[in-house]
Amino acid sequence: MPKADLIAGVVLMVSGLALLFFIIPAQTEQDTGAAVPPDMLPQICALGITLLAAVLTLNALRGKTPDAKPPKASEWRAMVAVVVIILAGAALFQYIHPIVAGLFVTLATMLYMDERRWHLLLALPAALVVIVYLLFYEFLGTAIL
Amino acid sequence: MMDELVAGFGAALTFYNVAFIFMGVAIGYLVGALPGLGKGTATAVAIPITFYIEPLAAIAFLIGISKGSTAGSAVSAILMNTPGEPSSAPTAMAGYPLARAGKAQKALKMGLYASVIGDFVSTCVLILSAQSLADYALGIGPIELVAILAFSLTFIAALSGKSLVKGLIAGLFGILCSTVGTEIETSTERFTFGSFDLYEGLPLIPVAIGMLAMSEMMVQIGDRRRLEAETDLLRGSGKPEDAYVTWEDWKKSFKAIIRGTGIGIFIGVLPGLGASTGSFLSYGMARRASKDPDSFERDGAIEGVAATESADNAVVPASFVPLFALGIPGSVIAAILIGAFVIQGVTPGPLMFLEQAELMQGIYASMLAASLILLFIGYFGQNMFARIIKLSPSLVLSTVVFLCCLGSYLQGGGMFGLYIMAIFAVIGFFARKYDFGFVTFLIGFVIGDGFELALRQSIGLLKGTPEAMLDHPVAIVFWVLTIVGVLAILRRKKISTESAT
């Protein structure tokens, strides 16, 4: 049985039902007096997603679809690491300085990828920040911060 | 037509524009040559820069990137047996054995010539056909438009991934995401969750960067050991003995290039089929036409490289036909370009030829110029690019992560754009790994607004009387095509699944 498709189908079906019965009624207005209410297209999409997710689940249960390859452990770790790097960069941007954030994002990604050559760890983040400054502030003549 | 094009050349061939086309092609060629980085990533990351430059230069820059990266992907395919993009996989099959036999330069040069020919001819077809199609499209009303959009999205969903069901889910999710924000007709909020930032909807560029580029970086960083191993392989593979394409090679490859260009144009015009379909089809036909087809993978074949690259590169300009003529993005590049057009205040579609005639001719002229610049950069820069792709993946990927963050910040209203990019990167990561067709999502997201508007107008026009549809034969034809197409695709997939098991 294609397990990945089964899990994806069930998760999407539950999400579709949550959209139909909770999220769309709470987040859109129904009685606006318009000929076509604002929730019509979201309802059509949510209904379609729910029905198709049910088909996906059934196909997976019957073993009719080739299974997808779920992420490997290293890919899971990379996904989490990249999100953490972005969020930490955002925090540095807001509370310290944009240049520090830019240096951090590049440096942290390089370190995560096992780059240990110190001259590259110093040169690349600095070079990127300088290039961005020259491109926008000098060449294109516009402020971006 | 010719007068307008000549005027377009006048507008396009300024030093300023040519410099941006040159930069676009060079950056694209380099990014395309780097394993794992495709034209979608390159174009999405570059869009924010275009906000600050003139419209024609901006569009030409992005088109240069997409053309350059399509051609550049042959470099790593031939030298490292690692296609820069899936569509160059057949180039690796026929070209890598040639490189191992010491004919890397020959294969690279033939790949470049075939790319330029395919791209140039396809651009000419675009120029000759898009406006005629657009003239016809101006007579299309909302009822027809709903049918055409439904047909395009279903077609893309069916053909861009392994599963039609998953593709349709992705497309519907894309349309659902496009409904976030203030609804136009009633000015009521939808899915804003009280956030002021969401009143104008989800910003396209951070969504595109997250789904395309950042999710790809997550996969590549997670798979970095394989990438590093492939980069190491390159160091021992360059043995250029045959450094040029002989007359004999041209004779072998001429038919393959013509056939490949034709296939690429045909595949490109149809929404959703994509460059991979074109290149594999062209490679398969070249193989079938050969007296010794097994030699393609065993010893390498110059005509195999020519067939693949001509088709691969012909797809890109041809995929702009539905974009320019109908406003429908038929490929991921076309979907991203819509973002660039919107940034420049231009709405893609048939009205562009009336309202922005000068810009359109300038774009055409820039596309032709980009083909020639591609030849120049490829010919003189191939060896340099081959050296650059030896760079450690940690340098390349961390640079792309930095550029993704910068682009999302610039085009997504500051930190909000960064958060949206991170959210859609995670969604894109799972869409990739579970084969949910992130391309279909993006196209659904891009056409969502237009689809909703046309749907509302159609409901108003039909006034609850389905028989009024009979007055719209074009719409009926597209609905029938949608149903027949889906049934045919399902049947074909069933047969291929049964034969596989």
Mutate which of A7, A14, A36 to test chain B, going by most B C-beta atoms within 10 A?
A36
Please name the amino acid found at residue B218. M
B453 touches chain A (CB under 8 A): no
Apex CA B481: angle with CA B478 and CA B486, to 5°? 130
What is the structure's pLDDT at B237?
45
Specify the residue for token string 């960064």: B418
Interchain contact, A124 vs B179, CB within 8 Å? no
A112 touches chain B (CB under 8 A): yes
Write out chain B's pLDDT in tens, 501 residues.
677 777 777 878 889 999 999 999 998 888 887 766 677 777 887 887 787 888 889 989 999 998 898 888 888 788 766 666 777 778 888 888 888 777 888 888 999 999 999 999 999 998 888 877 777 777 778 888 888 888 877 877 776 667 888 989 999 999 999 999 998 778 889 999 988 899 989 998 889 889 888 988 898 888 877 666 655 444 444 455 556 788 888 888 999 999 999 988 888 887 666 677 788 888 888 888 888 887 887 788 899 999 999 998 998 888 888 888 888 777 778 888 888 888 878 888 888 888 888 888 889 899 999 999 999 998 888 777 767 666 778 888 899 899 889 888 887 778 999 999 999 999 999 998 888 877 788 878 988 888 888 888 888 888 777 777 778 888 888 889 888 877 877 776 666 656 555
Interchain contact, A115 vs B398, CB within 8 Å? yes
| Set of chain A residues whose Cβ sits within 8 Å of the Cβ of B214 | 82
Residues A113 and A31: their CA atoms lie apart, in Å, by 54
| Set of chain A residues whose Cβ sits within 8 Å of the Cβ of B406 | 102, 132
Q: Which of B191, B426, B430 sits opposite A83 (nearest CB)?
A: B426
| Set of chain B residues whose Cβ sits within 8 Å of the Cβ of A49 | 169, 172-173, 176
Residues A112 and A101: their CA atoms lie apart, in Å, by 16
A15 touches chain B (CB under 8 A): no
Residue of B158, B133, B271, B179 whose CA lies nearest to B455: B179
With a CB cutoff of 8 Å and minimum separation 6, the contacts of B305 are B74, B78, B91, B94, B95, B98, B107, B110, B111, B114, B253
Residue of B84, B83, A68 whose CA lies nearest to B94: B83
Interchain contact, B185 vs A36, CB within 8 Å? yes
Domain map (residue ranges) of chain A:
3-61, 73-139
Helix (H/G/I), strand (E/B), else coil: B182: strand
Rg (CA), chain B: 22
What is the structure's pLDDT at B233?
45
Helix (H) or strand (E) holding B189: strand B189-190
DSSP secondary structure code for residue B87 in this structure: G
ipTM field: 0.93
Whether the CB-CB separation of B413 and B204 falls below 8 Å is answered with no
B410 touches chain A (CB under 8 A): yes
DSSP secondary structure code for residue B103 in this structure: -
Q: How many CB pairs under 8 A join A and B?
A: 184
Helix axes B55-80, B302-318, angle to 10 degrees: 160
Residues B447 and B441: their CA atoms lie apart, in Å, by 10
Q: How far is CA B137 from CA B61, B131, B427, in A?
A: 28, 9, 35
- Nearest residue in chain A measured CA to CA from B414: A145
Q: How many angstroms from the chain centroid is the CA of residue B274?
A: 7
Residues A67 and A59: their CA atoms lie apart, in Å, by 10
Interchain contact, A29 vs B426, CB within 8 Å? no
Residue of B214, B211, B218, B34 whose CA lies nearest to A112: B218
